[in-house]
Amino acid sequence: MHFQFYNDYSETAHPACMAALAHEPTQQLAGYGLDDVSAQAADAIRAVCKSPKAAVHFVSGGTQANLTMLAAMLRPFEAIIAAQTGHIYSNETGAIEATGHKIIAMPATQGKLTPASIEAAVAAHPWEHTVRARVVFISQATELGTVYSLAELRALRACCDTHGLYLYMDGARLGAALMSHDADWDLADIAALADVFYIGGTKNGAVLGEAIVIVHPDLQVDFRYHLKQRGALLAKGRVVGSQFLALFSNDLFQSLAAHANACAERLQNGLLAMGVAFETLSSTNLIFPTLPNHAVEQLQQRYGFHIWKKVSDTHQTIRLVTSWATPMDKVDDFLNDTRLALAEGNS
Amino acid sequence: MHFQFYNDYSETAHPACMAALAHEPTQQLAGYGLDDVSAQAADAIRAVCKSPKAAVHFVSGGTQANLTMLAAMLRPFEAIIAAQTGHIYSNETGAIEATGHKIIAMPATQGKLTPASIEAAVAAHPWEHTVRARVVFISQATELGTVYSLAELRALRACCDTHGLYLYMDGARLGAALMSHDADWDLADIAALADVFYIGGTKNGAVLGEAIVIVHPDLQVDFRYHLKQRGALLAKGRVVGSQFLALFSNDLFQSLAAHANACAERLQNGLLAMGVAFETLSSTNLIFPTLPNHAVEQLQQRYGFHIWKKVSDTHQTIRLVTSWATPMDKVDDFLNDTRLALAEGNS
Amino acid sequence: MHFQFYNDYSETAHPACMAALAHEPTQQLAGYGLDDVSAQAADAIRAVCKSPKAAVHFVSGGTQANLTMLAAMLRPFEAIIAAQTGHIYSNETGAIEATGHKIIAMPATQGKLTPASIEAAVAAHPWEHTVRARVVFISQATELGTVYSLAELRALRACCDTHGLYLYMDGARLGAALMSHDADWDLADIAALADVFYIGGTKNGAVLGEAIVIVHPDLQVDFRYHLKQRGALLAKGRVVGSQFLALFSNDLFQSLAAHANACAERLQNGLLAMGVAFETLSSTNLIFPTLPNHAVEQLQQRYGFHIWKKVSDTHQTIRLVTSWATPMDKVDDFLNDTRLALAEGNS
Amino acid sequence: MHFQFYNDYSETAHPACMAALAHEPTQQLAGYGLDDVSAQAADAIRAVCKSPKAAVHFVSGGTQANLTMLAAMLRPFEAIIAAQTGHIYSNETGAIEATGHKIIAMPATQGKLTPASIEAAVAAHPWEHTVRARVVFISQATELGTVYSLAELRALRACCDTHGLYLYMDGARLGAALMSHDADWDLADIAALADVFYIGGTKNGAVLGEAIVIVHPDLQVDFRYHLKQRGALLAKGRVVGSQFLALFSNDLFQSLAAHANACAERLQNGLLAMGVAFETLSSTNLIFPTLPNHAVEQLQQRYGFHIWKKVSDTHQTIRLVTSWATPMDKVDDFLNDTRLALAEGNS
């Protein structure tokens, strides 16, 4: 089978995550997330976030985290502001709308939402004939692999405060963002700036699971009711809890993301050196090179990856994703094969 | 810590399920349930159900299975008929209603719905000023541990056919039902009679997961859209797929359930022999003995279990649940301790 | 055409309501309920309710009032307690569930909910695996024509206060209730006891419309957003506003309801004098006599009315509804025809 | 009070509509839209639409028509394609999303959707990770006063057929569109091309009401259930039915719209003659002139109208709406006052 750069959830799990799950498999634990393993994992997350009063809940996936939490934050007529490239708008099959809420999608630059676009969204929704904006949704890293800087996050926070908006961060790839060269913040900064965020485990070495961190006290109330109602309350909370306990021991969360980023960086730099153009330059584990059609076709013979978009009759942008498990020699193979393919096209 | 008879998901997983999950953890597989492991598991289920055209989907939990599938089966004004003791009505925090649908709850006998009660429900909802009944929801085993016989299932099916209703079966404890002495049917019978059912893994030895089996072809269409929209489409489908591949190899599904049932049967028979009364007699892994208050209090010092209901000022019914992992000596300990507690009360 | 006792909205409108609507038809008024006519009507309602801070909104029908207001009162996992005979549970096609909320239906006596049944409902929903009860829904008059006394209302209010519940009153027939011999309260009492109620115009002489009176200040906030979102905000608010201005001038609201009640009372007393049994005795404009089948069939030749239920093989309960427009001689005709029909059956 | 060009529902109703409503006010008619008056009105509409098998339903307002019908047309994961200026997207407080569905908003030119933008929307939603487009929503006339030509409608219809999409037309101002100089179609063409449309009464002389015309037979099934569930089934269907019976007698519908259009045309032409620029040129009863700030302020002293948008620091676009009841001398007054205001600014 071809080596795949499709995504960062192609492999099951890092051995340490698997071992955590397999530890004492017949030990009896409390159900529905009230077990000791989940409690310890929540403590570990609160510690790394320096947010001792945060509520931490574990769910099985990102769309579930988004729809359960966002619906819990809104009254029926309230809406979410997101980038047009935002996952909830472009890639979740109307999961948010299915809970009754509109997403106000704004044009984004390199996947990022700006205070100016938030203000434009608020201004366009001034009265009872329109929804009212209530939550700002951002992804960190973004769906284009870019990362909000601390200054950008502070500006978004200030804008939210001015307009009475909650700030929600989708952290499906928060690990990759954290280990990016562009990250001048840590998880404690995130917890200080966002009202709610989630830390992605599925895409960073866990068997499965995301940790929702609710910082704002108003949003902590009754959240277990929302989890249960949306089918997100796992009978065996430990299954996800154990994953996060492993990830936040010995800096595993950080080291796995750092490896994925290093693979992507080597890919991106290697391609740049060949003169390849990019949709946007990424500092995380997703990269978006634009290649001639013939090169794309040739690479598809040996690798799996998504076509991101057709750029012209002769070129396409592809998406390459690396993971905690990507072997560096596969990166080098891909670079060599690309070099050959490009050379062939030019001959 | 006390030994727990709270439920059948207190332990993480049977070693064979864990091993299946841990097998080749860095093998790259397709995302979102389109992987080979999930495909093999689906084939295994189709084979045991003798239902080669059934669609099989894997999700992480029972409430999620129920809300995703049932909402997919209904137009906005259509409703579900269920027993008042049915899990979706009594124990899922309005998950079904949150998708916009009413549950018509009917009185049940020993947790079972009858053709007569279905007909009463249909008759009470005759026109556009009422919802229209469209799905009959039953649990096999029921929430009271009882099991529908083949004759009962056939009668329900006939009633559904008469009234244009789908038959949906919640199989969170389908393994326990299957291995019950009251089961005069097999999984192929279930597939022949129900339009949709799910096979529970979470409560029968899997790490987590339920397998939704859609027999009716109309209901198979576009179901992956529903899964994604409700947050039920796992990025790593193999996580659940591998569990079912293990459960349906070497009759593991059957043997685990048989053990849980045997423990419960020994408990029930032992208590009956002491003259203990029961809310209802169960042939699966949930039993409901009624004990004097002092005995309940004494047993609570050493065991964990739920109080089901207060029967009188002097007696309470408790719920005891056994699992694939329950050690038989704990069963005997419980019986001995109960004998002592009852004797003490009589002295 | 037969004379109809089907309902109290068979006739278009009382002349005074029609005149109010037709007054200055080309006068330009503000849209969406912000007009002067609606403002005056709201003032008139606040005055009669002695509730100067109440918010008053006008909508076109009762189901719309119920679904818009109740959905606005609840968070996603919260539910409504209602009698099984309550209109929202039995007769609104799942309109409440379609907004995402469960109705906890409790057995009722003569259409009434009691503090005991509310407490039972609350006790049965104690944690995050169940919905949380948040609103108590009652109808005044009830769907069986009965009326809550002041003592009963106070007891419900006290029960709501104890359990942190809102009290909502469906007043589709509040006029009939108010003018009932059983009413030892006035509209000011209603406003003092209920958090929200609506005053029905459609069934008491108006062209159409209901006035929602929101007493509790928390529930007043942003309600126009809810109205707009549910399609309940009329472009020409005056259409309903003018109706209520007419109804609350010169005691028209009271006198129309008094007439309807007087007709029903005469019917009920006349039938009682013939030895006819009743499902329940009503003090408003709905009555429920039980008649032999042959008498029902004979009366159907000359009158329109609903069959309420089959009581036995030989008897049926029917529902007779009178209105502000019912001619008293039709009442007497009906009594005479019933006397003849009953005599014939006995001959 | 100032004369208002705010909208076309400032006046209550045309005398003929009022008279129709007031006709025989105590005649007993069947409830919930099953009355003879509504039946006659439906027949009249089917006749003018040359669509003898169309189903016709009457509701109280446009948002209600849109949300009830569109939700009825969709399965949970299906979505609507609309122009960004479309009423359901920009001006209905998330009413559609509150029923669970996403609106895919596309850029519009002069308020119109094109086959190209529909195709772009379809292409961007190809699989189960995105919603599926199912309905195309257009407004005729558009929210900018423009009118789709027959060729444009046919092209949209062909595009819908190609992609398996329903075509839904919001006809809040269908009368104005029909009487526009740009209309090279009649109502029979509309019925032949759209799957569903509604004919607006509220903005064209009726007391209130819209007539939903369901041409596609699949969409006719069970629609009364949807009406009831959304609070849109009026107890007294005749209230709206009578309005449409009046409007479709003696070409009242056409003549009222023609008057409104004539007023707007005189305004637009008069302003054009003064050199005023327009956001877009309209052929219906909404016009969008751009005026210097000082002229706007001066006109606000004597007239009511909405500011549409700020064009620059010195100019604003305003929206002027005329109605069936607009006196032509008020049009001339406005033109004179504008001429004076502009002259003053230039002096």
Cβ-contact B169, B139 below 8 angstroms: yes
Residue D1's pLDDT is 61
Considering only CB atoms, B97 lies closest to which of C92, C93, C100, namely C100
Instruction: Name chain C contacts of D21, Cβ cutoff 8 Å.
Output: 12, 18, 21, 207
Residue B35's pLDDT is 97
Examine the domain organization and report whether D222 and D274 are in the same domain. Answer: no
Round to whole Å and give the CA distance between C252 and C261.
14
B59-98 in b/e form (b: 16+ CB < 10 A) is bbbbbbbbbbbbbbbbbbbbbbbbbebbbbbbebbbbbbb
SS3 category, D230: coil
Helix extents (H) in C124-172: 150-163
A100-109 pLDDT per residue, tens? 999 999 999 9
SS3 category, D210: strand
Instruction: Name chain C contacts of A229, Cβ cutoff 8 Å.
Output: 76-77
Residue D347's pLDDT is 63
Sign of dihedral through CA atoms B50, B54, B57, B63? negative
Mean pLDDT of chain C: 97
Length of chain A: 347
Cβ-contact D212, D188 below 8 angstroms: no
Round to whole Å and give the CA distance between A230 and D173.
41
Examine the domain organization and report whether D212 and D66 are in the same domain. Answer: yes
Q: How far is A77 from chain C (nearest CA, A)?
A: 6
3-state secondary structure chain A: CCEECCCCCCCCCCHHHHHHHHCCCCCCCCCCCCCHHHHHHHHHHHHHCCCCCCEEEEECCHHHHHHHHHHHHCCCCEEEEEECCCHHHHCCCCCCHHHCCCEEEECCECCECCHHHHHHHHHCCCCCCCCEEEEEEEECCCCCCCCCCHHHHHHHHHHHHHHCCEEEEECCCHHHHHCCCCCCCCHHHHHHHCCEEEEECHHHCCCCCEEEEECCHHHHCCHHHHHHHCCCCCCCCHHHHHHHHHHCCCCHHHHHHHHHHHHHHHHHHHHHHCCCEECCCCCCCEECEEEEHHHHHHHHCCEECEEEEECCCCEEEEEEECCCCCCHHHHHHHHHHHHHHHHHHHC
Cβ <8 Å between A79 and D94: yes
Partners of B277 in the beta sheet?
B290
Q: How many domains does chain B have?
A: 2
DSSP D277-290: EESS--SSSEE-EE
Q: How far is A219 from chain B (nearest CA, A)?
A: 18
With an 8 Å Cβ cutoff, the interface of chain A facing chain C consists of 32, 71-72, 75-77, 99-100, 128-129, 131-132, 222, 224-229, 233
B12-33 pLDDT per residue, tens? 999 999 999 999 999 999 999 9
Structure tokens at C232: 């309940």
Residues 6+ apart with CB under 8 A from C312: none
Cβ <8 Å between B94 and C105: no
Examine the domain organization and report whether C183 and C237 are in the same domain. Answer: yes
Residues 6+ apart with CB under 8 A from B222: D75, D77, D128, D132
With an 8 Å Cβ cutoff, the interface of chain A facing chain D consists of 76-77, 79, 90-94, 97-103, 105, 128-131
Round to whole Å and give the CA distance between D215 and B286.
55
Residue C337's pLDDT is 97
Alpha carbon distance, N-terminus to C-terminus of chain D: 29
Mutate to test the interface with A, among B12, B59, B324 (most CBs of A within 10 A): B12
With an 8 Å Cβ cutoff, the interface of chain B facing chain D consists of 32, 71-72, 75-77, 99-100, 128-129, 132, 222, 224-229, 233
Examine the domain organization and report whether B240 and B312 are in the same domain. Answer: no
Residue C1's pLDDT is 60
Cβ-contact D11, D323 below 8 angstroms: yes
For chains A and D, count residue pairs whose Cβ atoms are closer than 8 Å. Answer: 57
D256-310 pLDDT per residue, tens? 999 999 999 999 999 999 999 998 999 999 999 999 999 999 999 999 999 999 9
Instruction: Name chain C contacts of A225, Cβ cutoff 8 Å.
Output: 77, 128, 131-132
B103-106 and B132-139 strand pairing: unpaired
Q: How far is D79 from chain A (nearest CA, A)?
A: 8
Cβ <8 Å between D225 and B72: no
Cβ-contact A15, B25 below 8 angstroms: yes
Residue C13's pLDDT is 97
CA-derived radius of gyration, chain D? 21
Examine the domain organization and report whether D290 and D186 are in the same domain. Answer: no
Mean pLDDT of the C197-204 span: 98
Round to whole Å and give the CA distance between A274 and A289.
11
The residue whose two tokens read 């080749």 is B24
A299-331 in b/e form (b: 16+ CB < 10 A) is beeebbbeebeeeeeeebbbbbbbbbbbeeebb
Cβ <8 Å between C225 and A71: no
Cβ-contact C71, C166 below 8 angstroms: no
Q: Rounded to whole angstroms, what are the CA distances from C236 to B115, C27, D9, D288, D311?
A: 50, 12, 7, 23, 31
Mean pLDDT of the C152-181 span: 98
Round to whole Å and give the CA distance between C327 and C323.
9
Examine the domain organization and report whether C302 and C196 are in the same domain. Answer: no
Instruction: Name chain B contacts of A26, Cβ cutoff 8 Å.
Output: 11-12, 325
Considering only CB atoms, A31 lies closest to which of B7, B64, B238, namely B7
The residue whose two tokens read 């070495």 is A205
Cβ-contact D129, A168 below 8 angstroms: no
- Is-cis flag, bond preceding D83, omega within 30? no
Mutate to test the interface with A, among B5, B18, B26 (most CBs of A within 10 A): B26
Cβ-contact B189, B150 below 8 angstroms: yes
Of A195, A230, A247, the one marking the end of a domain is A247
Examine the domain organization and report whether C82 and C175 are in the same domain. Answer: yes
Structure tokens at D35: 């009355």
Round to whole Å and give the CA distance between A183 and A168.
18
Of D247, D272, D290, the one marking the end of a domain is D247
Cβ <8 Å between B92 and A12: no
Round to whole Å and give the CA distance between D76 and A51.
38
Cβ-contact D14, D243 below 8 angstroms: no
Partners of D278 in the beta sheet?
D289
Cβ-contact B136, B118 below 8 angstroms: yes
Asked if pLDDT for residue C37 goes beyond 90, the answer is: yes
Amino acid of residue A177: A
How far, rounded to the nearest angstrom, does the alpha carbon of residue A35 sit from its chain's CA centroid? 26
The closest of A83, A137, A124 to A106, measured between CA atoms, is: A83
Cβ <8 Å between D10 and C28: yes
Asked if pLDDT for residue B1 goes beyond 70, the answer is: no
Cβ-contact B18, A22 below 8 angstroms: yes
Examine the domain organization and report whether A59 and A133 are in the same domain. Answer: yes
The answer to whether residue D156 sits within a structural domain is yes
DSSP class of residue D138 equals E
> What region does C309 belong to: left with phi over 0, alpha with psi -120 to 50, or beta?
beta
Examine the domain organization and report whether B195 and B335 are in the same domain. Answer: no
C209-243 pLDDT per residue, tens? 999 999 999 999 999 999 999 999 999 999 999 99
Round to whole Å and give the CA distance between C310 and C293.
9
Helix extents (H) in chain C: 15-22, 36-48, 62-73, 87-90, 115-123, 150-163, 174-178, 187-193, 217-220, 223-229, 238-247, 252-273, 293-300, 328-346
SS3 category, B345: helix
Segments of chain D scoring below 50 in pLDDT: none
Examine the domain organization and report whether B73 and B87 are in the same domain. Answer: yes
Residue C85's pLDDT is 96
Residue C196 belongs to what domain range?
A: 15-247
CATH label of the domain that carries residue A240 = 3.40.640.10
Sign of dihedral through CA atoms D68, D74, D75, D76? negative
Round to whole Å and give the CA distance between B250 and B235.
28
Examine the domain organization and report whether D141 and D284 are in the same domain. Answer: no
The closest of B69, B235, B220, B55 to A91, measured between CA atoms, is: B235
Asked if pLDDT for residue C347 goes beyond 70, the answer is: no
Residues 6+ apart with CB under 8 A from A270: A331, A335, A338
Considering only CB atoms, B94 lies closest to which of C79, C91, C94, namely C79
CATH label of the domain that carries residue A290 = 3.90.1150.10
Examine the domain organization and report whether A231 and A284 are in the same domain. Answer: no
A196-200 and A210-214 strand pairing: antiparallel
Segments of chain A scoring below 70 in pLDDT: 1, 347
Instruction: Give CA torsion, residues C25, C27, C33, C34, to 10 deg.
Output: -170
Helix extents (H) in D274-327: 293-300
Of D190, D219, D247, the one marking the end of a domain is D247
Residue of D nearest to B131 (CA): D225
B307-343 pLDDT per residue, tens? 999 999 999 999 999 999 999 999 999 999 999 999 9
The closest of A249, A265, A110, A108 to A176, measured between CA atoms, is: A265
